[in-house]
Amino acid sequence: MPELNLDLLGKSKGPVTTEYTWQDAALYALAVGAGPEELSLIYEGHPGGMKVLPGFVVVPAFAAWPDLGEVVWPLMVHGEQVITVHQPLPPGGKVVQAGRVANIFDKGKGALIEVRVSGSLEDGSPLFDAQWNVFYIGAGGFGGDPGPKTVVTPPPERAPDFETTYRVPPSQAALYRLLGDLNPLHIDPQAASLAGFERPILHGLCTYGYATRALVNGPLEGDPDRLKEFSTRFAGPVYPGDELTIKGWREGEGYLVEASTQGGVVLTNGRALVD
């Protein structure tokens, strides 16, 4: 079974400056399923100005991930994701980022590694905060703090306020990995089998991106700048070729979000804060 170096706790990286262009933002939009009908997300010359999906922050943020050392990447499965966006994302520019391993929890069957990255513009104004909770299969049982228990909140027992279904193309995981997430779990059948999946699965962050698009194209009326925060728990795999249905229920200043495929629920505890 894999072992985790517990000295990683508190390890940091940065500040590092990462530059991106409108092509990077457009590639992200395409990699989470956007098409010509969402022209403002993929066209730098859009009359109203190019817009950037909030989930894009995870792409430059990888440059500030601390080095986790020798880990078996197919056994690293995304558990939860949170992003908070403090101001609209520019179509291109430089981001100053810093990341750290904030927590390592012992979940018995695995270790939960919590990585946090914060980014700001060159003038020092905060741009985003992002948190990954990654489950390292088989690396638990070291006698550590089990951490907080996740309580799954079911959606309201009423019709959703919005519902969107997307078909995930068979090539979507191959496209998404061009953003830099090269875990073989999403492309190599043998790596997927090692992690207990029948075939390569879609990146959790790609599913996350589809959910943010559903919010933007639905209740946010095409304006990604209105999405201020989105957190969710990955409850099951999405396979390229699946039909992905995202539902949302209005609550307070945002929405409760859940997503499912023909195989069952894949996103739970989704909470979106909107402007």
Within-domain flag for 260: yes
With 0-12 CB in 10 A as exposed, 13-18 as middle and 19+ as buried, what is 73? middle
The reported pTM is: 0.94
Q: List Cα–Cα distances, 33 to 26, 29, 82, 266, in angstroms.
A: 11, 7, 20, 17
Active site residue 104: no
Is residue 5 predicted with pLDDT exceeding 90? no
Within-domain flag for 1: no
pLDDT digits (tens, 9 = 90+) for 117-166: 999 999 999 999 999 999 999 999 999 999 988 888 889 999 999 999 99
Chain length of the chain:
275
| Residue 1 pLDDT | 66
| Residue 2 pLDDT | 79
| Residue 63 pLDDT | 95
Active site residue 204: yes
Contact present, 42 and 26 (Cβ < 8 Å):
yes
Within-domain flag for 29: yes
Among residues 42, 79, 83, 181, the one annotated as catalytic is 181
Active site residue 203: no
Active site residue 186: yes
Is residue 102 predicted with pLDDT exceeding 80? yes
| Residue 244 pLDDT | 98
Computed over every residue of the chain, the mean pLDDT equals 95
Within-domain flag for 27: yes
Print the domain residue range for 133.
6-274
Contact present, 232 and 257 (Cβ < 8 Å):
yes
Contact present, 266 and 243 (Cβ < 8 Å):
no
pLDDT digits (tens, 9 = 90+) for 51-86: 999 999 999 999 999 999 988 988 999 999 999 999
Within-domain flag for 176: yes
Domain CATH for 80: 3.10.129.10
Among residues 78, 104, 186, 242, the one annotated as catalytic is 186
Query: % helix / strand / coil in the chain, to the nearest 5?
Result: 25, 35, 40
Among residues 99, 119, 204, 218, the one annotated as catalytic is 204
Within-domain flag for 127: yes
Count of domains in the chain? Answer: 1
